[in-house]
Amino acid sequence: MSPNPDAATADLAGYEVLVGVTAGISAYKTCEVVSRLVQRGAGVTVAMTRSAKKFVGPLSFQALSGRRVLTSRWSDEDPSDVQHIAMTAAANLFIVAPATANILGKVAAGIADDLLTTLIVSAASPILFAPAMNDRMWANPIVQRNVRTLTEVGHTFVGPQSGWLACRSVGPGRMAEPADILDAAVSILRKSQPRQSN
């Protein structure tokens, strides 16, 4: 078997990426996104919502990223430590995958009531959303308004794609495939210099 070309190139060395995971069955795809970013040399820190942990456990992302996974605004080791926000200053890119209707609505409204929304609102980097939801939810005028709002302020979207959904219907709302998310992420990263020394 030939070696993985992504692992061989490490072309993303020095880049820092935050990955936000929300509650959706497609969170399993985000595992591959994290793995492929790490294989290409990027430093990846994962932040999860409380409900996201019902779909993929933090230990999975910890194993893939090699870093502690953030699940609360307060450190388990030191409850007075609220320095998670500092991580947003070091990131070259913030990926939110899956991006549910709930998270899109919160961010569009500027709500920061948990770890992930606080990190997003304080982000100093581009944000890439990979939406995932039921097709009727995606078509909802309020959701579409939120997408327009986020796009107008400079955030980027990849997907959703049309296909078989977890609700057993077919239509738009399926999260983009990991390769497509990775391509979109690399395109954004290439527009900046790594913030960490190689």
77's tokens: 């080791």
Write out the residue range of the structural domain in which residue 166 sits: 5-189
Residue 60 belongs to a domain with what CATH number?
A: 3.40.50.1950
Question: Does residue 114 or residue 169 have the better pLDDT?
Answer: 114
* 145: phi then psi, degrees, rounded to nearest 5: -65, -40
In a domain, 198, yes or no: no
Amino acid, res. 194: P
SS3 label, residue 168: coil
For the ranges 29-33, 95-99, 112-116, 168-172, the lowest mean pLDDT is seen at 168-172
Distance of CA 4 to the CA centre of its chain: 23
Mean of per-residue pLDDT scores for the chain: 87
In a domain, 194, yes or no: no
- Structural domains counted in the chain: 1
In a domain, 104, yes or no: yes
Q: End-to-end distance of the chain based on CA atoms, in angstroms?
A: 29
The pLDDT confidence band at residue 72, using thresholds 50, 70 and 90, is confident
Tens of pLDDT, residue by residue over 126-171, are 999 999 998 888 999 999 999 999 999 999 999 897 665 555 666 5
Distance CA 30, CA 184 (A): 14
In a domain, 50, yes or no: yes
Distance of CA 177 to the CA centre of its chain: 13
Tens of pLDDT, residue by residue over 19-55, are 999 998 899 999 999 999 999 999 999 999 999 999 9
Distance CA 18, CA 77 (A): 21
The kind and range of the H/E element at 21 are strand 16-21
Distance CA 101, CA 146 (A): 9
Given 85, 87, 167, 186, which residue is catalytic?
167
The kind and range of the H/E element at 85 are none
Place of tokens 């391509």: 183
Looking at residues 64-90, what average pLDDT do you find?
A: 74
Amino acid, res. 15: Y
167 part of the active site:
yes
In a domain, 130, yes or no: yes
In a domain, 49, yes or no: yes
Q: Which residues contact 68 (CB under 8 A, 6 or more apart)?
A: 62
In a domain, 75, yes or no: yes
- pLDDT recorded at residue 136: 86
Q: Does the structure show a pLDDT above 90 at 83?
A: no
Q: Does the structure show a pLDDT above 80 at 198?
A: no
- Measured in residues, the chain has a length of 198
In a domain, 57, yes or no: yes
